[in-house]
Amino acid sequence: MNWGIFEGLLSGANKYSTAFGRIWLSLVFIFRVLVYLVTAERVWSDDHKDFDCDTRQPGCSNVCFDEFFPVSHVRLWALQLILVTCPSLLVVMHVAYRQAREKKHQEALGKDGGRLYLDPSKKRGGLWWTYVCSLVFKAGVDATFLYVFHSIYPRYTLPRVVKCHADPCPNVVDCFISKPEEKNIFTLFMVITALICIALNLVELAYLVSKRCRECLAARKARSESLDHRLDWVTASSKQGDLLSGDLIFLGSDVPPPLLPDHPQDHVKKTMV
């Protein structure tokens, strides 16, 4: 495995994520991928070899093992981790596509031709939808695999002894699982980390949606305020135009405008009487 390429992809996904996304990445690649690579494969490496049944009937142990372990834990976890981490890499690829498109636009039209994106890595437009869909997909994948694990292995635990009566076993035989407690510990650890990852994805999804709603409401409020200011300005301009037109009517009229009395005091006295 080329760890240099892996580190570059991880740093890119971490760069374009929110705070919740960075926590999710740390949890996935430290507590899930590394635990899987370092310990899980070793714990389950001897599951078939040390699966013993109290019979010498040829093929009985293999049939009972296949019946109780239809799918290997290790292979299911590997598929789960691949599907969970791919959406983050798609976000990185989307940002790289926007950056390449912006670069071509600048080379074709120059700096005077404007910009396609104010910030190619900012979650706006299609990139916002890509990021949101990646969160939904990651939470859905983890939830689906948790359901699959629970349906195959109830309560995510392995018993010490299992009963098997499949052909070609002559009767009901007891089969013994190697290191069940150790396997249960790692199974519960992976289940708990998956649940935490689902919670982080849902929290980040709620954060992004609420932030987008607040921005839309703020933009709508700003537009309504600008429209109100524009209406006030138009109303004031129309009133001022009416006053000016009234003055022009008096100026162009044959009837002179009313004049003040020569003695205002006498006029006030007459009015009061």
Output the pLDDT for position 235.
Answer: 67
Name 174's bridge partners: 163
The domain that holds 201 is classified in CATH as 1.20.1440.80
Asked if residue 228 belongs to a domain, the reply is no
Q: Mind giving me the DSSP string for the chain?
A: --HHHHHHHHHHHHHTS-HHHHHHHHHHIIIIIHHIIIIIHHHTTTTTTT-EES---TTHHHHHHHHH-SS-HHHHHHHHHHHHHHHHHHHHHHHHHHHHHHHHHHHHH-GGG--S-S-TTS--THHHHHHHHHHHHHHHHHHHHHHHHHHHSGGG---SEEEE--TT-SS-EEEE-SSHHHHHHHHHHHHHHHHHHHHHHHHHHHHHHHHHHHHHHHHHHHHHHHHHHHHHHHHHHHHHHHHHHHHHHHHH-SSPPPPPPS-HHHHHHHHH-
Low-confidence ranges of the chain (pLDDT < 70): 1-14, 46, 111-114, 118-121, 228-229, 231-273
How many domains is the chain partitioned into structurally?
1
Output the pLDDT for position 261.
Answer: 53
Q: What's this model's pTM, rounded to 2 decimal places?
A: 0.73
Output the pLDDT for position 205.
Answer: 93
Output the pLDDT for position 95.
Answer: 82
Instruction: Identify whether the C-beta of residue 163 lies closer than 8 Å to the C-beta of residue 53.
Output: no
Asked if residue 73 belongs to a domain, the reply is yes
Backbone phi, psi, residue 12, to 5°: -65, -45
Q: Rounded to a whole number, what is the distance in angstroms from the first to the last CA of the chain? A: 109
Output the pLDDT for position 239.
Answer: 58
Q: What's the burial of 11, exposed, middle or buried (CB within 10 Å: 0-12/13-18/19+)?
A: exposed
Output the pLDDT for position 256.
Answer: 52
Output the pLDDT for position 257.
Answer: 52
Asked if residue 272 belongs to a domain, the reply is no
Domain ranges, residue 108: 3-221
Instruction: Identify whether the C-beta of residue 165 lies closer than 8 Å to the C-beta of residue 220.
Output: no
Asked if residue 268 belongs to a domain, the reply is no
Asked if residue 140 belongs to a domain, the reply is yes
Asked if residue 245 belongs to a domain, the reply is no
pLDDT tens digits, one per residue of 41-73: 777 776 777 788 888 888 888 888 888 888 888
Q: Mind giving me the DSSP string for 171-234?
A: S-EEEE-SSHHHHHHHHHHHHHHHHHHHHHHHHHHHHHHHHHHHHHHHHHHHHHHHHHHHHHHH
Asked if residue 181 belongs to a domain, the reply is yes
Output the pLDDT for position 141.
Answer: 95
Q: How many CA atoms lie within 13 A of 139 on its CB side?
A: 16
Instruction: Identify whether the C-beta of residue 21 lies closer than 8 Å to the C-beta of residue 204.
Output: yes
Asked if residue 239 belongs to a domain, the reply is no
